[in-house]
Amino acid sequence: MKKHLLLPMISILLFASCQQDKHLYQSEKFTVYADKVVQETYTAKVVSADEIVSDYQSPVNAFLTATFPFKFSINSRDNEMISGKDHLITLRPENGLSISPLIRFGEQSIDTTDAEGYIPVNTIWKIRLDMRHVYEAFETDGYFTLFNGDRLYKEDFKGVYIAGGTGVLSWDFENLLNTPAYALKDPDGDGIFEAEINMNPDRSEAAERRWKLSQDISSFPQYTSGQSLIDALYRMSLDEMLLNIRPDGAFMAG
């Protein structure tokens, strides 16, 4: 390479490096750079315009209450019981495993204790759901009547999920179907659905959390800013928008 080209190129690279290290915003809690966000000892960093990695660990995970509400959901909808009426359970793990009572779909279950406590790390919760009366209605009537009077026809049944308000659970009913761990299964077809969920995974041993572009965004306007964090966030927003579209073409709520 000719010497008269080398110096300008080095200058450009040094300038770009300085720009990446210059903070765009700083508060008492976190600092935003052109290519990363730093909060105390944690960093979310841009690998490329199509990838971001983070080593953040939420302190909330150390204080997950062992008593919490939850509901079941057919076809990723809020359709088990009226709003505000939930199941309630206290996890009491033995050797890392807590097994729920057999809960009948649509009938409130309260299985709690007065003892206060938190969910130990790596507690597995085995959930058991009785759907036999739903299956029976499918066979006798061709449909099951939900709490609000809506009819769920046998051919429209796609699956049953769990929603909840602690740990790895979520109340985002519309998106339950996108998380395989929330799905309960009935492999032998007896109408008893089960799932096992790690309610408080050991984050300290987890690999870095990572976003990587998974959808084709080539049909959307392209944007570059000279700041890799902004570019990656723009592409991530398009990626998540496409992931937020249901199979029927409608956007998911929430």
Question: What's the whole-model pTM score?
Answer: 0.64
If asked whether residues 125 and 215 sit together in one domain, one would say: no
If asked whether residues 229 and 137 sit together in one domain, one would say: no
If asked whether residues 122 and 212 sit together in one domain, one would say: no
pLDDT at 248: 77
Say whether pLDDT at 21 is over 70: no
Question: Which one is predicted more confidently, 26 or 14?
Answer: 26
Q: How far is CA 180 from the centre of its chain?
A: 10
If asked whether residues 50 and 101 sit together in one domain, one would say: no
Q: What is the mean pLDDT of residues 26-34?
A: 91
Tell whether 253 is covered by a domain: no
The mean of the pLDDT values for the chain is 87
If asked whether residues 23 and 66 sit together in one domain, one would say: no
Q: What is the mean pLDDT of residues 134-152?
A: 97
If asked whether residues 100 and 213 sit together in one domain, one would say: no
If asked whether residues 229 and 164 sit together in one domain, one would say: no
Nearest to 89 by CA among 61, 108, 62, 104: 108
Worst-scoring range by mean pLDDT, 69-78, 108-117, 143-152, 217-226?
A: 108-117
Tell whether 254 is covered by a domain: no
Tell whether 1 is covered by a domain: no
Nearest to 150 by CA among 87, 78, 86, 83: 78
If asked whether residues 109 and 194 sit together in one domain, one would say: yes
Q: In which region does residue 140 sit, left (phi positive, over 0), alpha (psi from -120 to 50) or beta (all else)?
A: alpha
If asked whether residues 35 and 77 sit together in one domain, one would say: no
Cα separation, 32 vs 21, in Å, equals 10
Residue 44 forms beta bridges with which residues?
37, 54
Say whether pLDDT at 8 is over 60: no
pLDDT at 165: 86
Tell whether 248 is covered by a domain: no
Tell whether 212 is covered by a domain: yes
pLDDT at 215: 95
Q: Which two tokens stand for residue 40?
A: 């105390």
Q: Which two tokens stand for residue 148?
A: 């609000």
Tell whether 250 is covered by a domain: no
φ, ψ of residue 91 in degrees (nearest 5):
-75, 130
Say if residues 240 and 161 touch (Cβ distance below 8 Å): no
Which residue reads 């929603």 in tokens? 163
At residue 38, what is the residue type?
A: V
Q: What is the mean pLDDT of residues 13-38?
A: 75
If asked whether residues 75 and 114 sit together in one domain, one would say: yes
If asked whether residues 92 and 191 sit together in one domain, one would say: yes
What's the domain range around 21? 12-55+208-243
Say whether pLDDT at 3 is over 80: no
CA distances from 154 to 40, 145, 182, 237 (A): 52, 11, 21, 37
If asked whether residues 66 and 162 sit together in one domain, one would say: yes
Say whether pLDDT at 7 is over 50: no
Say if residues 76 and 68 touch (Cβ distance below 8 Å): no
Say whether pLDDT at 245 is over 90: no
Tell whether 185 is covered by a domain: yes
Number of domain units in the chain: 2
Tell whether 175 is covered by a domain: yes
